[in-house]
Structure 1
Amino acid sequence: MKKINLVAGGPSYLLPELGDYHDSHSTWVGIDKGAVYLLEQGIIPHIAFGDFDSVTIEEKLFLDNHSVKLTTFQAEKDATDTELALSWAIKQNPNLIRIFGATGGRLDHLLANLHIMKRFYNKNIQIKLIDRYNQAEVFLPDCYKVDKKEEYKYISFIPISEEVSGITLTGFKYPLNNCHIQLGSTLCISNELIHAQGTFSFTSGILLMIRSKD
């Protein structure tokens, strides 16, 4: 499985141990200060994108000393650094894209990153946003299996289109059958699996699934 891992410049304390996601099939990409975070965790990025306005002179030398390939953009542009990096990653045709360092800190960046996941949805490429406490993924109408993970006890389903129709949850503590939920609904927040595996399905709309731990 071909994987591309993007590391953005959000608060470093929300990053998981990136080495846990490192294997021979992974390509690592830094986004602005995220390139520094990668080096600090002992991973040399394949490439780094950004205007690097949040990188200090010392950190820039740190990147140069490790021969990190920097793709630099002007600060004044029509797309965020994360959007540019994700666009590049999609063109590499991976099976999986993981985005780290994209939560916490500025709320506008978090909301933008969630909507970028929605806009770049591709049925052939799984895109996950991951931090120390959460995993988020966007889904289009279909039926999906979800496995129980003790470290991610809570599962929430959040509509990110005007309406999600026909949502059905099986194997959950709070099941649903052919339910319709509107944008802004909190009906499907903090659910839990009661079996080793459950399913969720829906017939129209766009759904964000977030798996969380305390």
Structure 2
Amino acid sequence: MIINILAGGPIDLLPSLEKYDKENIVWVGVDRGVFTLIQKGIIPQYAFGDFDSVSSEELAVIREQVGDLQKFSPEKDETDMELAINWALQQEPTLIQLFGATGGRLDHLFANVQLLLKPILQNINTEMEIIDNKNTIYIRSAGEHSIQKMNDRKYISFVPVSGAISRLTLVGFKYPLKDCHIPLGSTLCISNELINDYGTFSFTEGILMVIRSRD
């Protein structure tokens, strides 16, 4: 099962959601993202939020269209996105894709990126990624990971997010590495590219953010 979550980020940064609207997909709306989904002809099965970013008329439409709506007080310990992700992780999907999670307020952006750590920190076997119209972002723990070429997102960057990265090795890349130490704050691994259809990256210690981008 795949769970797609749409938050209330700027609409102009969204990819074509129809591309991700397939069978066996569960759609979840977060705050204004619920109304955006409805406008795009995708009715979410679940909705989360305090809904302080929609009008009373828009909230009425949401209540009419969505079967399972969980409305929270604006004064709470978690963001609306975190509440939706917590629920999604409990469903044990293979993948959670987050949309509308970039752009706008930087505190929301950094909070959403930080939420990508949840499956790793909780030892949950679910992959999670943020997708907008120019970037895909995900996080991996130590081990060997395969990566496939994407013609529309050919630039690949690796960013340490939890201490240094030990023995980073890149195979099949324009700029390969072998057992390289990458300290926190390094920009060594920004804007690499695959030279084959597939490549691998591996490391023995640390947590690594992978960012796939296009110009």
Match of 2:9 in 1: 10
Match of 1:181 in 2: 182
**2:153–2:212 Cα contact (<8 Å) kept:** yes
In 2, the alpha carbon distance for the partners of 1:68 and 1:118 equals 30
**SS of the counterpart of 2:173?**
coil
In 1, the alpha carbon distance for the partners of 2:132 and 2:196 equals 25
Match of 2:154 in 1: 153
Match of 1:200 in 2: 201
Farther off after superposition, 33-42 or 64-73: 64-73
**1:9–1:101 Cα contact (<8 Å) kept:** yes
The 4+ residue runs of structure 1 with deviation greater than 6 A are none
1:51-130 → structure 2 map (5 Å cutoff): 51-121=50-120, 122=123, 124-130=125-131
CA RMSD across the alignment: 1.1
1:119 CA displacement: 2.8
**SS of the counterpart of 2:59?**
helix
**1:44–1:68 Cα contact (<8 Å) kept:** no
The one-letter amino acid paired with 1:199 is: T
Farther off after superposition, 122-131 or 185-194: 122-131
The one-letter amino acid paired with 1:145 is: S
**2:47–2:66 Cα contact (<8 Å) kept:** no
In 2, the alpha carbon distance for the partners of 1:159 and 1:177 equals 16
**2:119–2:125 Cα contact (<8 Å) kept:** no
In 2, the alpha carbon distance for the partners of 1:73 and 1:65 equals 18
Query: Using a 3 Å threshold, how does the CA distance of structure 1 residues 11 and 68 change in structure 2: closer, same or farther?
Result: farther
1:7 CA displacement: 0.5
User: What does the per-residue CA deviation read over 1:177-213, in whole Å, with 9 as the maximum and x for residues that have no partner?
Assistant: 1111112111101100111111100000000001101
The one-letter amino acid paired with 1:103 is: T
* Count, aligned residues: 213
**1:158–1:186 Cα contact (<8 Å) kept:** yes
TM-score of the superposed pair, with normalisation by structure 2: 0.96
Q: Percent identity?
A: 52
The one-letter amino acid paired with 2:26 is: T
1:120 CA displacement: 3.2
> Unmatched 5+ residue regions in structure 1?
none
The one-letter amino acid paired with 2:28 is: V
TM-score of the superposed pair, with normalisation by structure 1: 0.96
In 2, the alpha carbon distance for the partners of 1:87 and 1:64 equals 22
In 2, the alpha carbon distance for the partners of 1:4 and 1:83 equals 14
**2:119–2:126 Cα contact (<8 Å) kept:** no
1:123 CA displacement: 5.2
In 1, the alpha carbon distance for the partners of 2:90 and 2:2 equals 12
Farther off after superposition, 66-75 or 109-118: 66-75
1:65 CA displacement: 3.2
**2:168–2:180 Cα contact (<8 Å) kept:** yes
